[in-house]
């Protein structure tokens, strides 16, 4: 059985963020300025231009998506709880 992370219910929710480079949408969450959760789907993974083609190859982060999430947080479209 797969359970839900209660932090998503009690704290900030996941919210859509669109990548400024490839236009794919992922679900993002920030519990603080330094914390980020990103839920991709197959469509976003397919659209990403930085993601390596080879399956299983390590890929720590998409730089363009990181910048997009930061921009969304700064402009306020992605909620960041007060510390």
Partner 1 sequence: MSPTRSDHDTVRTIEAQELPTRFARGWHCLGLSERFGDGRPHKVRAFGRDLVVFRGGDGNLNVLDAHCRHMGGNLAEGTVKGNEIACPFHDWRWGGDGRCKQIPYSRRVPLRARTAAWTALDQDGLLFVWNDPEGKPPPEEVAIPRIEGAGREDWTGWYWNELVVDANCREVVDNVVDMAHFFYVHYSFPTYFKNVFEGHVATQYMNGVGREDVQPPSTSGSPKMLGNTSVASYYGPSFMVDDLTYHYEGMDVESVLINCHYPVDADRFVLQYGVIVRRGEGLEGEAADETAAQMAGYIAKGFEQDIEIWQSKARIDNPLLCEEDGPVYQLRRWYEQFYVDADEVTPEMVDRFEFELDTTRPVEAWRAEVESNLAQRAAESGTV
State the DSSP code for 26.
E
Nearer to partner 1, 4 or 76 (CB): 4
User: Could you tell me if 68 and 19 are in contact, meaning their C-beta atoms sit under 8 angstroms apart?
Assistant: yes
Nearer to partner 1, 20 or 59 (CB): 59
Which residues are at the interface with partner 1 (CB under 8 A)? 1-7, 11, 31-42, 44-45, 55-56, 58-61
Minimum Å gap between C-beta 2 and partner 1 is: 5
Q: How far is the CB of 75 from partner 1 (least distance, A)?
A: 20
Shortest distance in whole angstroms from residue 40 CB to partner 1: 4
Contact indicator for 47, 22 with CB cutoff of 8 Å: yes
- Angstrom CA distances, 71 to 1, 2, 7, 21, stand at 36, 32, 23, 12
């Amino acid at each position: 059985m797969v359970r839900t992370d209660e932090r998503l219910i009690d704290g900030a929710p996941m919210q859509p963020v669109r990548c400024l480079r490839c236009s794919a949408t992922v679900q993002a969450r920030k519990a603080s300025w330094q914390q980020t959760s990103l839920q991709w789907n197959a469509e976003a993974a397919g659209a990403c231009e930085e993601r390596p083609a080879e399956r299983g190859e390590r890929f720590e982060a998409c730089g363009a998506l990181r910048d997009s999430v930061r921009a969304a947080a700064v402009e306020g479209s992605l909620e960041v709880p007060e510390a």
